[in-house]
Amino acid sequence: MHYQPVIHLESGRVAGIEALVRWQHPQRGLLFPDRFIPLAERTALINPLTSAVVEKALHEIGALARDGIELHIAVNLSVRNLHDPAFAAQLLAQARAAGFPLERLILEVTESAIMTDHGRARETLQQLHDAGIRLSMDDFGIGHSSLAYLKDLPISRMKIDKSFVMHFTEARNAAIVRSAIELGHNLGLSVTAEGVEDEATAEALREMGCDTAQGYYFSRALPMEELREWLRRSPWGCPAGDPGD
């Protein structure tokens, strides 16, 4: 497990972290999710993998809370998770067994994970939302029907895709980002920008009213021990509390 800090732009402090799985392959070294998650999604392996990620993340972030550092934790879901009728109950059981507050758990879903069977996905997401878990639309801006899903699903957050944020100096990308922030806020959503790589972009996003951001400018994704060190030493490392929905 690696964890990437998410920064509350107004306060300049960490608001939460995103849990990201890595595979330490014996021959190929450290592999990023895009190298193996698509393979796992084509098989029955993605559900036990997601379960293992949730279990580990709740345990490690729970340990941080016991040390006085309470953070939100975001976990990514796949299409197979949303279409598994037992998934919601299993995840809720995991969180309750770990004693992890459901309101500090954020589940991120992409449009592609919803499109295949919208009805089944919506039912699963509604169960999770009703239990108190927060839901976020990931990679906003690259799908064909994102607006419809933001309207119809119990989403409280949206994350602007990094392809727009990383090329923020291009006028059209900046316009898209600004419009996405305004749209999100008009819908009552908290907005996160991913892929922030420099101070100028972070400052521009703050001036636009973007709520939170993540990217290499703040920190790469870190193993837990390195995250603990980052929280101690980074100027962004003191938790900001709840940035709101």
pLDDT in tens, 58-111: 999 999 999 999 999 999 998 889 888 899 999 999 999 999 999 999 999 887
Whether the per-residue pLDDT at 126 is higher than 70: the answer is yes
Decide if 212 is inside a domain.
Answer: yes
Give me the domain span that covers residue 29.
2-233
Decide if 239 is inside a domain.
Answer: no
Q: Which CATH number belongs to the domain containing residue 65 in this structure?
A: 3.20.20.450
Decide if 243 is inside a domain.
Answer: no
HEC secondary structure over the chain: CEEEEEEECCCCEEEEEEEECCEEECCCEEECHHHHHHHHHCCCCHHHHHHHHHHHHHHHHHHHHHCCCCCEEEEECCHHHHHCCCHHHHHHHHHHHCCCCHHHEEEEECHHHHHCCHHHHHHHHHHHHHCCCEEEEEEECCCCCHHHHHHHCCCCEEEECHHHHCCCCCHHHHHHHHHHHHHHHHCCCEEEEECCCCHHHHHHHHHHCCCEEECCCCCCCECHHHHHHHHHHCCCCCCCCCCCC
The answer to whether the pTM exceeds 0.75 is yes
